[in-house]
Amino acid sequence: MFVLLVFIVFILLYIYLEGTKNFKYWETKGIKYCKPLPFFGNSCGKYFRQISPTDLLTNIYKTYKDEKCVGIFESNYPALVIRDPELIKLVLSTDFMHFYPKGMNMFEREPLMNNLFSADGDLWKLLRQKFTAAFTTGKMKAMYPILLKQVDRLERIICDASKKNVELDVRDLMARYTIDIITNCGFGVDSNSLNDESSVFRKLGKRIFNIKYRDSFVYMFKFIATNTFKNFNFFAPEIEDSTTEIFEYILEQRNNMPNRQDFMDILLQMRDKNTLSGDSLTKRNKDGEPEKCEIILNKTLLIAQAFILFAAGYETAAAAISFTLNQLAYNQEIQRKCQDEVDKVLKKHGELTYEAVIEMKYLEMVFKEGMRMYPPIGFLIRQCARKYTFSDINLTIDKGIAIFIPLQALQNDETYFEQPEKFIPERFHPDNAEKLNKFSYLPFGAGPRLCIGMRFGILESVAGLAKIFQKYSVMPSTNSRLDLVTDPTIALVQNIKGGIPLKFVRRRMI
């Protein structure tokens, strides 16, 4: 009995030590850090869906006001939260080659994670080069008429709600709007999510971003017991199965369709070529020149790219538009300025053309201010590729250390934005550009991993807002609230508890 007791104590002690073995990391570096819990580190609330990752990082940012960076622990793994724009510049841009990975696909085994957003190294570089061609000015102009059809659909739904004097959850409405844009412009498929909430694309979109307990526990155990759970996928089987089924069907349908020069055509060209080749990101010849590298393509890799265009393309824009509308509902004077600009530009162009949308600079400023106050993705993540020293603070970190950049906190810090709680679009007027610290405003990221779809996201958002303000005003409804509460069950793109209910009222045109 005594031997058994000793054995149990030994096992428990071993487990405890394994779960705390790295907890002295930041102390030995002389860096202030958040005190961790065994096994969970500083992520217990996140794992059990009590706080969103964005809110967790915001709290850390506010707690350590005098620090340029703060040490934390993702389970037993040390990570660094960076608060200072100059350090952020080093990570995202100046010393990019030390921080090019995101480190999100821990073992590169998960099919859907091998996409442009989460891939690292040569795979990321070659995919980035290939897909840049999908977002040129020429391609966006060509897609604009398709986009405009979805804008008209959106207006009809708002018209119907206005006549019935009922509120709309604009967070959900804008998700359906941007899904229709992505599926039509990117894949040549009409998902009809605006008119059919049971659309397979809408169902898939909801499941991707609705983090269930299964998803939270898999994420937690992959950090607590990495090797044991290395074959578990972050994305649930139903997400992989639905994504594969939908996009295999689209690929087959597009075989017999004319060349549309859209995202799906790029995937088809990649499939036919069977490989991606180019200069390596990390490997060099003896003469210092990049080695040539080649990636073998298969259907699984192509589906992963379709998946990320759909998921990231619709949800981030939907969040940004709805957050902006909520602010405009409570800032009627700014909204009237938007309407005045829309009236003036449409009088000049006659209709909502591509050129008209590009000319609506105040509306774009309004949209950027909305993203400042509530960025769709509230943080950025990078991973140290090799040992690196932040010379300004005399800190050396090791390969594999995760870097978190808390955008939500940074973009609402009075150090960088005067009266950050106020909605002031003029912050983004060209005359004020010099006052803006580039690395304190990062809703699309920065550096070589800047969001590839940034311009398209702004285009579809400003076009939607312009169409609304051409005929309607947005107002608070009975269930509206200015101060939004983040849903802790959402992992990446921010969502709101209870949605964002607002009311649309027909304008009195003079």
Exposure of 105 in the CB half-sphere (CA atoms within 13 A): 18
Give one DSSP letter per residue of 5-66, joined into a string: HHHHHHHHHHHHHHTTTTTTHHHHHT--BPPPBTTTBT-HHHHTTSS-HHHHHHHHHHHTTT
Which structure tokens are listed for 198?
């049971």
Determine the Cα–Cα distance for residues 232 and 113; give it in Å rounded to an integer.
Answer: 12
Chain position carrying tokens 């774009």: 364
Annotated binding site: 451
- Which residue type is seen at 122? D
| Helices 454-471/332-349 angle, 10° precision | 100
- Tokens read off for 81: 């939260």
Whose CA is closest to 96, among 128, 68, 71?
A: 128
Give the neighbor-by-neighbor strand order of the sheet with 69-74: 69-74, 77-82, 402-405, 380-383
Q: How many other CB atoms are there within 10 angstroms of residue 476's CB atom?
A: 16
φ, ψ of residue 104 to 5 degrees: the values are -85, -30
Angstrom distances, CA of residue 441 to CA of 89, 405, 416, 490: 11, 11, 9, 23
Query: Tokens 């070589």 sit at which residue?
Result: 448
Beta strand 168-169 pairing with 501-506? antiparallel
**Integer Rg of the chain from CA:** 24
Residue ranges of the binding site for heme: 451
CA distances from 191 to 53, 178, 199, 442 (A): 31, 11, 6, 31
- The amino acid at residue 293 is C
339 in Cβ contact with 469 (< 8 Å):
yes
Instruction: Report H helices in 83-236.
Output: 85-89, 121-131, 137-164, 170-187, 200-209, 213-224
Give me the amino acid identity at 33.
Y
Angle formed at CA 423 by CA 417 and CA 427, multiple of 5 degrees: 50
Helix 200-209 and helix 237-254, axial crossing angle in degrees, nearest 10: 140
